[in-house]
Structure 1
């Protein structure tokens, strides 16, 4: 399969026009005419992931988080981003990122479904006339449960060792906002929707204090923890009978000790 043909499929799954203006999605390194026989899918384009792709003789890497966000004037081996780019180029590995477009097109609904939300709408719609397209989801649980029970369900569904919880563990939870990745910017949206709890990652101390003061509980399942499922989902949904899709071995940079 040509790289451009695989790209067409990726952009059918997650249209690039969904991506935020500040984001950098699409083919970042490589040639659209390149032949692709083996793909490695990962959350991050880390040095370890690139080394796995080289070892497995992959022709393409697909990640959620882009390697390049800000414009680069030079690509050299003097910095870690340049070294990664050069390493991929030297081994003829194409590199594609699907970030906020994937958040909107797939991950919001998938994350909501994982915890059993119904009657969902976007936490932050991107279209004024369509409340179902946007970042995150707000919805209702099928039954009222405690904050502790919901935290345990999040651990189970997202395959996590632990989560951070803000709020009284015995509080009844019925309405839920969820945003994968770094979601403290959506605290206000969650409150406006009337959520009892926001499930997300990367919540800072003072934001947590502000949220609980306004009667919004928080389940911080981590940036990595709330997004890792994207890798397995994409590997399972690529329709590439003549291309081998592999899942990278990676882990959160944070370690529990």
Structure 2
């Protein structure tokens, strides 16, 4: 199939607009129009994974981590990044990364960690702002239901676990149709007053084009009046980390051993035990130290993440247990999550998980 079809599906699940500013998710090597015959899914895109794709005759690699974070000025094989990109181009292998945008969605990286650890009813730990907007429009009373339904079907009106949310005010609109118009109501050259409903509803910014098109299609007027407003509200469906509760309380040390086993961690670096049972747990795949305050504020007993520096462990201040399980260990199940998502949608497309261990860290036990 065309690469565009696969990427479009992935970015419906994790829109590229959800990624952090420093990130480089998306198509790194390749063309949207190219045909892809299969894909290897990997946490990292290393030279060994590219060799694996070549050996298996596969022309797409889907990784969580982008191989390129910063601009490349030279291509002379002196770094592993240059070698990977050059080899992929030479063998016409597309490279696609789905990184922090996949971290930030409800059914993404952190939900998989929660699943592995038996964390129930997880929610976003730090919801993102700048993603929601509000649409306001005005339509004749008898068309209000049709317009609302069109907007909801296009992705508007979701607030938390509630859907089809809107606010509606009765009023009237005025207009005078000019020459050459095809007014739905009123006469050319005459001021017309029409009973209308003001409809307000919120939507994620990535749905805007679809939403406006739905509005223009459902609305009876030749010229549709509508306003789009940016909002600073947090979007609870999108953001960093997750927090939830275990089925039942468990002793701290027992829980850490459980985490170690479930995540296949060689070692867990953690702050001192606090002498109380664990019930509420916060998680963030990868480098999540910036969420410590949020984890404490959410009432978590343990915060599971990676990449903690020595002095940062002091920040727990006996309010929470920080458990650093390792970057690879916290995100490794992203591969199987992507595999499951794509297999369900494209059951006849050749997908395979990499057989390469891309973890650059080794442990002397």
TM-score, L = length of structure 2: 0.66
1:190 match: 295
Out of 287, 290, 305, the position equivalent to 1:200 is 305
Do the aligned partners of 2:265 and 2:326 also contact (CA within 8 Å) in 1? no
Unpaired runs of 5+ in structure 2? 130-232
CA gap 1:126/1:137 in 2 versus in 1, 3 angstroms? same
**C-alpha distance in 2 between matches for 1:83 and 1:161:** 30
1:117 match: 119
2:333 match: 229
**C-alpha distance in 1 between matches for 2:74 and 2:237:** 41
Judge which range, 120-129 or 59-68, deviates more: 120-129
Can you list the C-alpha shifts for 1:12-33, whole angstroms capped at 9, x where unaligned? 2221121112211110101112
Larger Rg: 2
2:258 match: 153
1:131-150 to structure 2, matched below 5 A, reads: 131-150=236-255
Query: Is residue 6 of structure 2 the alignment partner of residue 6 of structure 1?
Result: yes
Deviation at 1:75, TM superposition (A): 3.2
Deviation at 1:133, TM superposition (A): 2.2
Judge which range, 158-167 or 86-95, deviates more: 158-167
Do the aligned partners of 1:200 and 1:221 also contact (CA within 8 Å) in 2? yes
Deviation at 1:54, TM superposition (A): 1.4
Deviation at 1:137, TM superposition (A): 0.6
- What's the secondary structure of 1:254's corresponding residue? coil
**C-alpha distance in 1 between matches for 2:252 and 2:46:** 35
1:83-102 to structure 2, matched below 5 A, reads: 83-102=83-102
- What's the secondary structure of 1:111's corresponding residue? helix
- RMSD (Å), alpha carbons: 1.7
Do the aligned partners of 1:104 and 1:133 also contact (CA within 8 Å) in 2? yes
Deviation at 1:40, TM superposition (A): 0.7
Deviation at 1:216, TM superposition (A): 1.5
TM-score, L = length of structure 1: 0.93
**C-alpha distance in 2 between matches for 1:132 and 1:116:** 20
2:359 match: 252
Deviation at 1:41, TM superposition (A): 0.6
Do the aligned partners of 1:174 and 1:196 also contact (CA within 8 Å) in 2? yes
**C-alpha distance in 2 between matches for 1:73 and 1:121:** 41
Can you list the C-alpha shifts for 1:82-108, whole angstroms capped at 9, x where unaligned? 221110000010000000011112112
- What's the secondary structure of 2:124's corresponding residue? strand
Deviation at 1:170, TM superposition (A): 4.8
2:44 match: 44
CA gap 1:169/1:46 in 2 versus in 1, 3 angstroms? farther
2:346 match: 240
**C-alpha distance in 2 between matches for 1:117 and 1:242:** 33
**C-alpha distance in 2 between matches for 1:169 and 1:53:** 48
Unpaired runs of 5+ in structure 1? none
Do the aligned partners of 2:44 and 2:358 also contact (CA within 8 Å) in 1? no
Can you list the C-alpha shifts for 1:114-144, whole angstroms capped at 9, x where unaligned? 2222343211111334334211112222221
1:61 match: 61
- What's the secondary structure of 2:104's corresponding residue? helix
**C-alpha distance in 1 between matches for 2:337 and 2:263:** 12
**C-alpha distance in 1 between matches for 2:339 and 2:277:** 36
**C-alpha distance in 2 between matches for 1:160 and 1:90:** 36
**C-alpha distance in 2 between matches for 1:151 and 1:226:** 14
Can you list the C-alpha shifts for 1:137-191, whole angstroms capped at 9, x where unaligned? 1222222112212212212322334322222275311221110011111112212
